[in-house]
Amino acid sequence: MTAAGIVTPTTELAELDDLTLLRRHQDGDAEAFGEIFRRHRDRMWAVALRTARDPDVAADAVQDAFLNAFRRAGSFRGDAQVTTWLHRITVNACLDRLRRQRPTVDLEGHDPVEPRDRHRSVEVRLDVRDALDQLPEGQRLALILVDMHGLSVAEAASVLEVAEGTVKSRCSRGREAMARLLQLDTGTEGDT
């Protein structure tokens, strides 16, 4: 047990797993959270940037996220991975900031991109990133976490705090919508 005020050498911290680091942070180890930050900052930055789609918003959000994690480490129950917890905090920080900027944003993502908008799909060939940006928030987040960041469906469901089936359906509908936007020949045209 690390007593409050004791600093674990960095080399030793690097050998510890995330959960142990978080517990040491709770116990007052002054360097433990720094190792968590060092370990996950690039990942959370990528998640924030892809979620917020704006570097300034992402920067503020990822700062909010790590501060929140620092302060609320005691609320981590340990029934998920620390990385999943950090993903959730980061995504929520981004969504909080996006909501303030665009209070009416559709966060549920139940409305698919217009499936029969042939005019737009013919005349505008979007690149992958633009197509992703066209998706409803829920579908976009699911694809960012699962397809871009490699989280499992279960992890993404934990991050987004929805059922696994919801993540699956959002991924499926999101991919189909993107395929239409990108005019990919998938044989799914018209499917909903």
Partner 1 sequence: MSSYPTRSEPGDPADEHDPTGVRDLLSALPDPGPMPADLVDRIHARLEVEREHLTGAAATHPLTGPADRVVELADARARRRPARTLGLLTAAAAGLAVTTVAFTQIFGSGASTDSGAVAQYPSRAEAGADEGAADDAGGMDGEEGSSFADQDMAGSDDAAEEELAESDEAGSVLSEQLPPTVLPPLGDVGADDYATAVHDASLGDPAAGAATEAVPLTDAQAAQCWGSVDEVGGDRTWPTRYAATATLVDEDEQAQPVVVLLGVRPGRAHAWAVPASCVSTQGVAVLDPDGVALPRP
**Does residue number 80 form part of the binding site for partner 1 (CB under 8 A)?**
no
Interacting positions 115-154 with partner 1 (CB under 8 A): 128-129, 132, 143, 146-153
**Does residue number 168 form part of the binding site for partner 1 (CB under 8 A)?**
yes
**Does residue number 9 form part of the binding site for partner 1 (CB under 8 A)?**
no
Q: How far is CA 174 from CA 50, 120, 178, 184, in A?
A: 15, 17, 6, 13
Pairwise CA distance, residues 176 & 63, whole Å: 34
Query: Closest approach of Cβ 153 to partner 1, in Å?
Result: 5
**Does residue number 77 form part of the binding site for partner 1 (CB under 8 A)?**
no
Query: Closest approach of Cβ 157 to partner 1, in Å?
Result: 11
Residue closest to 82 by CA, chosen among 45, 139, 44, 52: 44
Concatenate the DSSP letters of all residues of 115-144 into one string: TT-HHHHHH----HHHHHHHS-HHHHHHHI
**Are residues 19 and 78 in contact, defined by beta-carbon separation less than 8 angstroms?**
yes
**Are residues 39 and 69 in contact, defined by beta-carbon separation less than 8 angstroms?**
no
**Does residue number 182 form part of the binding site for partner 1 (CB under 8 A)?**
yes
Residues at the site binding partner 1, with contacts judged by CB under 8 A: 4-5, 14-15, 17-18, 28, 30, 33-34, 37, 39-46, 49-50, 59-60, 62-64, 66-68, 70-72, 75, 82-83, 92, 96-97, 100-101, 128-129, 132, 143, 146-153, 161, 167-168, 171-172, 174-176, 178-179, 182, 184, 186-188
